[in-house]
Structure 1
Amino acid sequence: MAHAEQFDRPNYVGSQSCGNCHDQAMQDWQKSHHAQAWTEPSEKTVVGAFDGRSFSHQGMTTRFRRKDGQYIIETDDIPGGKRQFPVVGVGGIAPLQQYIVETEPGRMQSFDVVWDVEQERWYHLYPDQELVPEDGLHWSGPYKNWNARCAECHATGFEKNYDPKRDLYQSTQVETGVGCEACHGPAQAHVEWAEAGTSLAKGKWSGVNGIGLLVNLNLTDDGQSAVRRYLAGTTQPLSRLTDTEVQIQQCASCHSRREPFEGGNPLPGTPFHDAYRLSILRPGLYHADGQILDEVYVYGSFLQSKMYANGVTCSNCHDPHTAQLKAEGNAVCTQCHSPAGNPDFPSLTAKEYDHPSHTFHLADTAGSECKSCHMIERNYMGVDGRRDHSFRVPRPDLSLETRAPNACNDCHDDQSARWAAGKIADWFPDSSRREERHFSQTFAAARTDLRSQRESLIMLAEYDQLPGIVRATALDMLLPIADPGLATRADPMLSDPDPLVRVSAIALQRGAPEVERSARLAGLLEDPVKAVRIAAARGFLGMRIAYLPPRINENLGKAMGDWQSSLKSKADFPEAQMVLAGIGLTTRRMEIALSAFGEAVDMDPQLTQAWSMMVRIHSAMGNRQAALETVNSALEANPDDVPLNLMRADLGG
C-alpha cells in the first residue's frame, strides 16, 4: 500500500467520472457553453462553412475547405506568404466560433476570421485595423496566442509550459472545455469518498474538505473553515463569505480582466487575489463612471454593484451547470425585486418593480425589460453582446458632465442626454440621487486635469462606503503626482480590508521618502494576499537601504520571489518583458534591460517605446554604432514614427 505522503493533492479524473452520480448536472453541463468552450474539430463541433468559400480583408485572402477529413484554413495573411493550416481546435459555439491553428509545433494561434453563427457568414474580428503579418497584434502574433491568452479559461487543468530559452510551448490540459473539475477542483478524493460511502481516511489527502474536494462551492460542509482564507480578499464578513464569496471568486478567475500570476489554471479554490491582479477602472477599459468600455468581462463591474455589497452571488441569477439564466426575461430579477421580496436579502425594499409605474414603459416592450435600463449591452468580437454587471441606475444627467453613455440614450439614440435627464427628473422628482456627487464626476475631471482633482481623489479613496475597486482607482489615478503628502494620506489604507485598495495604496508610497516608505511597506511583505505581497516587493525596488532586519529581509526575498515567479510565467508576454526591462533600468543593470527590451520588440516590433529605450541605453553607454543599428531596425518596423526618425537624425544616420 502506498505511503500517505504520496497522496498530497488529489488528481483530476475527468468530467465523465462525475456523471455516474451527478446525472442531471452532467446533462445540463454537456449542453452548456462551458463544455463547448474548446473542442476538437469534428462534424459535431465545427459549425463554420469549410466548403471552399473565400474571405478577403485588407488585400489578404483566406479560404476555408475540407481535405482528407481535416478542416483547412489556407491564407495569404501570414508572414512568409500563403500557407495551409489544419484546424487543431474550436473555440466556442455561439454567437461566434473561432478556429485555432498551429503555426509552429506547440504554438497555437486563434485565427481572426471567425464564423458568425447567427448570420452564417465569415467575418473579421478587427475590420478597421490594418494589421500586417509582422504586427504584434496580427493573428499570428503574441497577443493572439491561444496558449498564453485564451486556453486557461477554455480548458480544465491547463498548464502553459512555455520554455523561453527555446521559445517553445509544450502545453497540456486535463480536458479541453470548462469541465466539472475546472470549478469543483480535482476530484480523485471525492470519487473515493463517494465510492467508499464512508468518511475519508485521515491523513491520506491534503487540503480537502469532508467530501474530498479542494473547494466547496455549496459550503454546506465545513463551510467556515474552508472559507477563512478568503477573508483577506474581501471586505465582507465571514457569514456572507459562506454564502457567496468563494463562488464569486471562483467564477471571477475567468470572468474578469486581470493579470495572471501563474502559467495556467490556478488550483480551484485558490482565492482570486492569490492568482491574479484585477484590472481597475482605467481609461480605455472603463468609462469614467465605471461602465464597461473594453472587453473587461464581469467581475470588475459586479464589484461596483449594490448586489455584490448585499450578498448576491452568481448562482442567484445563473444556473451553474447550464450557464444560462435561471428564469426568462424579468423573472430572473423578480425573484427578489417584487412585492414579496426575498428573505435572503432583507435590505431590499419589497415593492412592484416589473410594472409601468416603475419602468415608465409599456409592459412587454424592450423598455420595460430590467436589463435594458440596468445592464447596458456592448458588442465585443463583432457580434457578442455582453451586459454590464454593475446594475447601475441610469444617469443621463451625469452623461452631460462625464460623457459616459447612459441606458436611456442607448435606445433613444435620436435624443440628447439632456432630454433623457429631463425625463428621469419628471419621473422621479423626489430623488435625492441627483444632488449627491458621483465619483464619475471626479474621475472624468481628473482624466483631463489631474492636479485640480487631487483632494477630491484622495477623499474618494478615504471614503470606505464606496466599492473597493472605485477607491483603488482613485489612488491609482494619483500616481503621476505622488508626493510625501499623498503618501501620508494613503498610509491608513495600507491596512484596508480590501486587497485592491492595499495594492493601490502601496503604489502611492513611491511619493514618500525611502525611510518612511520602507517602514510602511515592511509589514505588507508578509500580507496573506499574494497580489499585495507582490505590490509591496515592487515598492521596495530601487530603494538604497543599507540594512534590513533579518525577518524583513527574509520576507522581502520571498515577496520578490513571488514577483519573479509571476514574471517568469509570463515570459511570452511583451508587456512582461517591458516590466523586466524596467527592473533592469531601476537597478542599473543595463544588459538585463537591453535583453528584455530586445525580447519585447522581437515579440511586438511596434513597441516603439522599447526601441527608443534601447537606443538611449546604447547611446548612454557610448556605443553609437549599436544605437544606430537599433534605430534603423526600429524604423524598418515603424517607418513613420516621428520620435524614432528624430533619434536617427540625432545619431547622424
Structure 2
Amino acid sequence: MSSSPSPAPHSGFRRFFSSWSGRLVLIGGLWLAVVVVFTVQAGLRNDGPPANRPIKTLASDYVSSDSCRSCHPGNYASWHASYHRTMTQVANRQTVPPGMDGLDLSYAGKDFHVDRDGENFFVRSKPTGAPASAFGKPQQIVMLTGSHHLQILWLETGEKRTLGQFPLAYMVEDKRWTPVQHTFLVPPDREEALYSQGDWNVSCMNCHVTQGRSLPLADGKFDSRAVDFGIACEACHAGGREHIEANRNPLRRFTLHLLGGADSTIANPARMTGPESSLVCGQCHSIWVYKNPADHRTWNESGSKYRPGQKDLDLRWVAQPHGDDHAAERAALNQTDAHFFADQFWPDGMVRVIGRELNALMASPCYKGQHYSCISCHEMHPAKTDAASLANWADTSQKKPGADTNHACVQCHREKTTEAALVAHTHHAASSEGSNCYNCHMPKTIYGLLKATRSHQISSPTAAETAEIGRPNACNLCHLNQTLAWTADKLSQWYGQPVPTLTAEDHQIATGVQWVLKGDARQRAIAVLAMGWAPAQQASGRDWLYPFAIFELNDPYAVVRYGAWKTLQSLPGFEGFKFDYVADDATQKESVTEAYRQWWFKVRGPNSLYPPETILDPTGMFRQDVFDRLLNLRDQRKVFIAE
C-alpha cells in the first residue's frame, strides 16, 4: 500500500503570496526597505542645512531659479553663464580660486595656511614668524563673492550664520592674491580692515543674493537666508509661484503661445516702460537708502518688498543729490551723514562710484523719454546659447550685438546714421574713436574695482566740468597731451560753448599732466588708466607717457600704483614688466629705479617726441621747476571709494 504524498515544502507561503493580500504585503515590504535604505544614506550624507553660513530657503512668492529650467532651458543657460549667477557662491573645489589646497599667504603680521578636507577648505592663522605650532583653530571658508574681477572669501565665525572676511582677495586677471583693502581706493594710512564681522550679513547680501533676509538675532548674530545665491531669475522677473501654478494648465500655455500675448503672472523688463525696466537693474545698481528705520527692520526680517514692474523701490529710495523728492528722507540723511552725497557724486550731481548706473541714467535726457533703459544696450538672454557665444557675452558686460558701436545710439538719433552727418557732428573721421558716441557722451569718469568705467549719464563734454568741478572731460581723456584751453577753444568753435575762466596753467600745461601731478587720488586713478587706453595713446602719442606712468608707481594710493603699472605694461618695451603694487617701499623703489633705467637706456629713442605741454624737455626729462611746483599743489584730501 502506498502512502499518501507529503505536502510540498512552504506550500502555505506559495499560496499566501499568490493571493492579492500577500502580493500587497510583499510590495509594501520591499518599498519600506527601499525607503529605509535611502533615508539612512541621506542621513549619512546630510544632517541638515549648514549652520555656519547663510543658506538658501524659499520665501514669500519665490520658487528659485531651479524651477525655471525645465520650461525655459535657453534662458536658464544664459543666466547660468552670467556673472550675475556667480555673484555669491558656496565655497567648494569648483568655486574657490586655483591653488587653494596648501596655500600659504602673509599679511598684516599674520601667516595664513589653507587646507582642503573633501569639498571643504579651512584656513588657520598665526603671528608671522611664530612656529607652526602657533597656528590657531581652523575656520572654514564657506562662501565667495565675485568671480569675474575679484573673488572675496568669507569665513565661518562660530556666531551662527554670521560671516567674517578673509583679508586677502584673489585678482582673477592677474592670478594673484592681494589685501582686500588694496583693491579699492582707500587712504594709504587706513589700517583697519575694510569689512568687519557681520558686514556681509547687513550690507553685501543686499545686492549679492536674490531676496536675501539678514535676520539679525538678539545677541548680535545673524541667521541669514536667501532664495538664491547670486542674482537669479526672480530678481528680474518677480516671484514665480503664481506663474508656475497658472501654467500647469496646458490649455493656458497653448493659448498664450498661439495669441502671442504677455503672461500677466510674470514680469518681463522688455515689456516695461524705460524707467520701470531700468529700476529692475537699479534695485542693486543705484545709490539707495532705506526710507526710515522701520523699513530697514522690515527689510532685514522679510527682504525686499519691491517686485519688478513697480515704479519705486518701496522700502528704499534712489538718492539723487539734487531734487525735491523724498524731502523728509533727504533731510534725515543730511543730518546723519553730511558727507553722503559729496563722497559719491561730483559737485554737479554726476555719480562717480562704480556700479550705480541707475543714478546716472535718471539724470540723462534720454531717460526722460520713457523708452531708453538699460536693455537699450544690454541683454540678459542672448539668442546664441553655445558655450563660446555665452562666454563672450558674459565677458563683454552682457551687451547686445553692436552695442560697442554707434548702433545703440542711432536707434533713436537716426539723423546721425549717415557718415556725412556723423562727421559734421563729431568733427572727427567717421572711422576714428572720436566718432564713437560712447567716448564723448559716456566717458570713463567712474572708478572702482581697479578700473575706470563709463559714466552712464549721457552728457556732452565741456571744459567747464574740468575747470570748475574737477571732473575729467571726454576730450582730454583722449587728448591727454592737450591743454584745457585747447579743448575749450575746440568746443567753442564746433558747438558754440562759452569758454570758462581758465588759469595760466590751463593754457600752458597738458590737462593729463595736471591730473597726474595736481589731482586728488580719484583724478589720478582715472588719468593713469586713461594713459593706458589705446585710443588715447593713438591720439596723444606714447613717447611722453613713460616717465609719468613710471613716476606714478610711487603714488601713495595702492590702486593708483596698480593703474600706473597696467598702463606701463601697455607701452612698447614694458609688456612683461614686473611690479608688486603692494610691496614694501624699498622693493617698490627698486622697481621704479629699474623702470626708469629700462626706459632711458633701452626704450627711449633718439626721435622720441615730447610736446612742451607735457613739461618734458627734449631729452624726456621733467622740467624740474614746473614738476615740483605742480606736485606741491597736489590735492591731498583723503579719498575713499569702496563697494
- CA pair 174-329 structure 1, distance change in 2 beyond 3 A: closer
- CA pair 328-63 structure 1, distance change in 2 beyond 3 A: farther
2:277 matched residue in structure 1 = 247
Counterpart contact for 1:100–1:110, Cα < 8 Å: yes
User: Is 2:379 aligned against 1:327?
Assistant: no
Q: Of the candidates 200, 210, 213, which is equivalent to residue 156 of structure 1?
A: 210
Question: 1:425 deviation in Å?
Answer: 3.1
User: Is 2:248 aligned against 1:195?
Assistant: yes
Counterpart contact for 1:214–1:268, Cα < 8 Å: no
User: Is 2:452 aligned against 1:392?
Assistant: no
3-state secondary structure, aligned to 2:140: strand
Q: Of the candidates 148, 151, 161, which is equivalent to residue 106 of structure 1?
A: 161
Q: Of the candidates 108, 116, 119, which is equivalent to residue 174 of structure 2?
A: 119
Question: 1:360 deviation in Å?
Answer: 4.5
- CA pair 361-301 structure 1, distance change in 2 beyond 3 A: same
Counterpart contact for 1:48–1:115, Cα < 8 Å: no
- CA pair 300-335 structure 1, distance change in 2 beyond 3 A: closer
1:289 matched residue in structure 2 = 348
Question: 1:156 deviation in Å?
Answer: 1.8
Question: 1:121 deviation in Å?
Answer: 0.9
1:256 matched residue in structure 2 = 286
Query: Aligned letter for 2:96?
Result: V
2:357 matched residue in structure 1 = 298
Counterpart contact for 1:154–1:177, Cα < 8 Å: yes
Q: Of the candidates 27, 32, 43, which is equivalent to residue 93 of structure 2?
A: 43
The Cα offsets for residues 7-50 of structure 1, whole Å up to 9 and x where unpaired, read as xx973222122122222111111101111111112333223441
- CA pair 335-423 structure 1, distance change in 2 beyond 3 A: same
Counterpart contact for 1:395–1:406, Cα < 8 Å: yes
- CA pair 371-72 structure 1, distance change in 2 beyond 3 A: farther
2:219 matched residue in structure 1 = 166
Question: How many angstroms apart in 2 are the aligned matches of 1:366 and 1:357?
Answer: 15
Query: Aligned letter for 2:286?
Result: S
Question: 1:348 deviation in Å?
Answer: 6.8
Question: 1:308 deviation in Å?
Answer: 0.7
Counterpart contact for 2:492–2:499, Cα < 8 Å: no
Counterpart contact for 2:162–2:197, Cα < 8 Å: no
Counterpart contact for 2:209–2:229, Cα < 8 Å: yes
- CA pair 83-268 structure 1, distance change in 2 beyond 3 A: farther
Question: 1:317 deviation in Å?
Answer: 0.8
The Cα offsets for residues 537-596 of structure 1, whole Å up to 9 and x where unpaired, read as xxxxxxxxxxxxxxxxxxxxxxxxxxxxxxxxxxxxxxxxxxxxxxxxxxxxxxxxxxxx
Question: How many angstroms apart in 1 are the aligned matches of 2:403 and 2:267?
Answer: 32
The Cα offsets for residues 242-279 of structure 1, whole Å up to 9 and x where unpaired, read as 53232112211111111234223334235434231223
User: Is 2:377 aligned against 1:317?
Assistant: yes
Question: How many angstroms apart in 1 are the aligned matches of 2:160 and 2:203?
Answer: 17
1:575 matched residue in structure 2 = none
The TM-score normalised by the length of structure 1 is 0.52
- CA pair 65-359 structure 1, distance change in 2 beyond 3 A: farther
Question: How many angstroms apart in 2 are the aligned matches of 1:42 and 1:108?
Answer: 16
User: Is 2:319 aligned against 1:279?
Assistant: yes
The Cα offsets for residues 330-373 of structure 1, whole Å up to 9 and x where unpaired, read as 33x32442xxxx4xx47976554995554445566655543332
List runs of 5+ in structure 1 lacking aligned partners. Answer: 1-8, 201-208, 220-241, 438-653
User: In the comparison of the two structures, how many residue pairs are matched?
Assistant: 382
Name whichever of 66-75 and 389-398 sits farther off: 66-75
Question: 1:422 deviation in Å?
Answer: 2.5
- CA pair 296-40 structure 1, distance change in 2 beyond 3 A: closer
Question: 1:166 deviation in Å?
Answer: 1.3
Question: 1:73 deviation in Å?
Answer: 3.8
The Cα offsets for residues 299-347 of structure 1, whole Å up to 9 and x where unpaired, read as 111111122112201111110236600024533x32442xxxx4xx479
User: Is 2:132 aligned against 1:93?
Assistant: no
User: Is 2:437 aligned against 1:383?
Assistant: no
Point out the structure with max Rg over C-alpha. 2
Structure-to-structure mapping, 1:24-63, within 5 angstroms: 24-63=74-113
2:305 matched residue in structure 1 = 266
Structure-to-structure mapping, 1:426-575, within 5 angstroms: 426=493, 428=494, 431-434=495-498
- CA pair 214-259 structure 1, distance change in 2 beyond 3 A: farther
**Aligned residues with identical type, % of pairs:** 24
Question: How many angstroms apart in 2 are the aligned matches of 1:112 and 1:153?
Answer: 21
Counterpart contact for 1:199–1:210, Cα < 8 Å: no
- CA pair 380-12 structure 1, distance change in 2 beyond 3 A: same
1:644 matched residue in structure 2 = none
- CA pair 398-174 structure 1, distance change in 2 beyond 3 A: closer
- CA pair 347-382 structure 1, distance change in 2 beyond 3 A: closer
Q: Of the candidates 59, 62, 73, which is equivalent to residue 23 of structure 1?
A: 73
Question: How many angstroms apart in 2 are the aligned matches of 1:284 and 1:157?
Answer: 28
The TM-score normalised by the length of structure 2 is 0.53
Question: How many angstroms apart in 1 are the aligned matches of 2:176 and 2:433?
Answer: 27
Question: How many angstroms apart in 1 are the aligned matches of 2:109 and 2:418?
Answer: 59
Question: 1:158 deviation in Å?
Answer: 1.4
Query: Aligned letter for 2:381?
Result: H
Question: How many angstroms apart in 2 are the aligned matches of 1:131 and 1:76?
Answer: 22
User: Is 2:486 aligned against 1:423?
Assistant: no
Question: How many angstroms apart in 2 are the aligned matches of 1:90 and 1:53?
Answer: 17
Counterpart contact for 1:48–1:97, Cα < 8 Å: no
3-state secondary structure, aligned to 2:342: coil
Question: How many angstroms apart in 2 are the aligned matches of 1:83 and 1:434?
Answer: 67
Question: How many angstroms apart in 1 are the aligned matches of 2:425 and 2:167?
Answer: 44
Counterpart contact for 2:446–2:455, Cα < 8 Å: no
Question: 1:53 deviation in Å?
Answer: 4.2
Question: How many angstroms apart in 2 are the aligned matches of 1:289 and 1:351?
Answer: 34
Question: How many angstroms apart in 2 are the aligned matches of 1:92 and 1:419?
Answer: 42
1:12 matched residue in structure 2 = 62
Query: Aligned letter for 1:183?
Result: C
3-state secondary structure, aligned to 1:377: coil
The Cα offsets for residues 373-430 of structure 1, whole Å up to 9 and x where unpaired, read as 222335655435432100211112331122222122223334332232233334x1xx
Question: How many angstroms apart in 2 are the aligned matches of 1:115 and 1:354?
Answer: 47
Question: 1:177 deviation in Å?
Answer: 1.5
3-state secondary structure, aligned to 2:68: helix
3-state secondary structure, aligned to 1:150: helix
Question: How many angstroms apart in 2 are the aligned matches of 1:120 and 1:89?
Answer: 19
The Cα offsets for residues 124-178 of structure 1, whole Å up to 9 and x where unpaired, read as 232354555xx4x543245xx1111111222222111112x31121111111121
Question: How many angstroms apart in 2 are the aligned matches of 1:56 and 1:181?
Answer: 41
